Structure 1
Amino acid sequence: MNRVVRRILALSAAGLMFTAVPATAAPSGGFNDWSCRPAAAHPRPVVTAHGLFGNGPGNFLAIGPALAAKGYCVFTPTYGQSVLPGIGGTDYVQNSAKEFGGYVDKVLAETGAAKVDVVGHSEGGIMPRYYLKNYGGAAKVNHFVALAPPNHGTTMSGIAELAKLFPGAAELLVGGLCKACLQLIRDSDFVRELNAGGETQPGVRYTVIVSTTDFLVTPISTSFLTGPDVRNIVIQDEHPGVFVGHIGLAYDSISIGYVTAALA
């Protein structure tokens, strides 16, 4: 049975890797343009945070150009590349958050802006929260928009809970290859530490966007934040019957519409 669980976990991780990004995309569509200077209509650059096994340009191949077309300066870093170049988010979330903070500082210095807005997907929807809480990010971020963030850890539709019944099975996901994986599981030490003392930071606005047809970050309530300046959005509340999967949240026109509306 232990072998079965290992195979399930391997397939799940492979599925995340396969669907995280279509490919490493070259900067295009007006984003990652370091000559961009924020206009009065959009005074804050947008810095994105990709998901597990993803990369910035690929994960935001749709959102990046959409925001750039509306006049935003958009920057899409790839963080946490602990295994291979172009495959991000695998390092410990704490390390990724520190790296992300350095990138935000670079964007602020290059653009002359006082603050940025952040758009994150999946792991990129929880990692910046560590930056906001522990690395001074709350003073540099105005609005954090998160798509399907595992804010309270994910059960992966029960797979993560099943793995707990078989000691050692979860090691398949770690083994030096994915240090962040077990941190994103429901009730992990990392999740408990992050949420202790309050889930949000003063002065930062939060928008969380989820889909009932997301079967990777589950249950969807795990994404919701509690705080004084939080809006939790379920796509199907306004668009009943629409299928938007976990990966699709970064590419679907409906979810992109929610992102652009939140930043407006």
Structure 2
Amino acid sequence: MEEICARTGQREVDIVGHSLGGLIARYYVQRLGGDRRVRTLVTLGTPHGGTAVAPGAGIHPIVRQMRGGSALIEELRLPAPGCRTRFVSFWSELDQVMVPVGTACVDHPDLDAVNVRVTGIGHLALPVHPAVAAAVREALETQETREGTVPSTGTTSVA
């Protein structure tokens, strides 16, 4: 992040992460001091609360960290007072990787988090669907958010 900020001349950056990528970005922000440089973290289908379904969990240890009760998930539940990053988490009721689907929501008392429900698409479509991309862009352009909505968008509904 330091290099990106130096190259761009920006003090802060925004990050968009899908699935495990969102979990890694959240760990950086919440546990490694990344909140000094990350203004907004947008996650798409990220198992913030862990998931009972972790595709390829036997392949690599990092994928096992996506499971509920893993050391990573438990560490993200620890207090995070003063975390400056704004979190916007997009989740879908059709996401078959997030079991249960509510695990894709950020639920932490110390974090400035908004959870946005997306309808009609599954896990792999979240980062590529035009309506979701538009809502992500709006979330990044918006400074203030309310629980459950991206301002002027409300619940993102995708047919």
Which TM-score applies when normalising by structure 2? 0.79
Matched, 1:216 2:93: no
1:83-116 superposed Cα distances (whole Å, 9 cap, x missing partner): xxxxxxxxxxxxxxxxxxxxx2221111111010
Which amino acid in structure 1 is aligned with residue 134 of structure 2? Answer: G
**Structure 1 counterpart of 2:154:** none
Write out per-residue CA displacement over residues 137-168 of structure 1, whole angstroms, 9 at most, x where no aligned residue: 01001111110111111112xxx6xxxxxxxx
Instruction: Describe the shift of the 1:126–1:211 C-alpha distance in structure 2 as closer, same or farther (beyond 3 A).
Output: same
- CA separation of 1:211 and 1:201: change in aligned 2, threshold 3 A: farther
- Measured after TM superposition, the shift of residue 201 of structure 1 is 5.4
CA contact (8 A) 2:92 2:122 kept: yes
Separation in structure 1 between the aligned mates of residue 105 and residue 127 of structure 2, nearest angstrom? 18
2:29 to 132, 137, 147: 132
- Separation in 2, partners of 1:196, 1:202: 12
Which letter does structure 2 place at the counterpart of 1:133? Q
The correspondence of residues 100-139 of structure 1 with structure 2, limited to 5 A, is 104-139=1-36
Q: Does 1:259 align with 2:140?
A: no
| Deviation sequence 1:11-70 (CA, Å, 0-9, x none) | xxxxxxxxxxxxxxxxxxxxxxxxxxxxxxxxxxxxxxxxxxxxxxxxxxxxxxxxxxxx
Number of residue pairs matched by the alignment? 138
1:1-264 mapped onto 2 (5 Å cutoff): 104-156=1-53, 173-174=57-58, 177-198=59-80, 202-226=83-107, 227=109, 229-236=112-119, 242=120, 244-264=121-141
Match of 1:74 in 2: none
1:133 deviates by: 2.4
Cα deviation for residue 205 of structure 1 reads 0.7
Residue 145 (structure 2) aligns with: none
Larger Rg: 1
State the superposition RMSD in angstroms.
1.8
For 1:203 and 1:136, the matched residues in 2 are separated by: 10
Say which SS state the counterpart of residue 61 (structure 2) adopts.
coil
- Distance in 1, Cα, partners of 2:46 & 2:30: 16
Q: Are the aligned partners of 2:31 and 2:76 in contact in 1 as well (CA < 8 Å)?
A: no
Residue 173 (structure 1) shift: 3.8
Higher strand proportion? 2
- Unaligned runs of at least 5 residues, structure 2: 142-159
Structure 1 residue 179, shift from structure 2 partner? 2.1
Structure 1 runs (4+) deviating above 3 angstroms are none
Structure 1 stretches of 5 or more lacking a match?
A: 1-103, 161-171, 237-241
Q: Which residue type is aligned with residue 144 of structure 1?
A: L
Q: What TM-score does the superposition give when structure 1 sets the normalisation length? A: 0.49
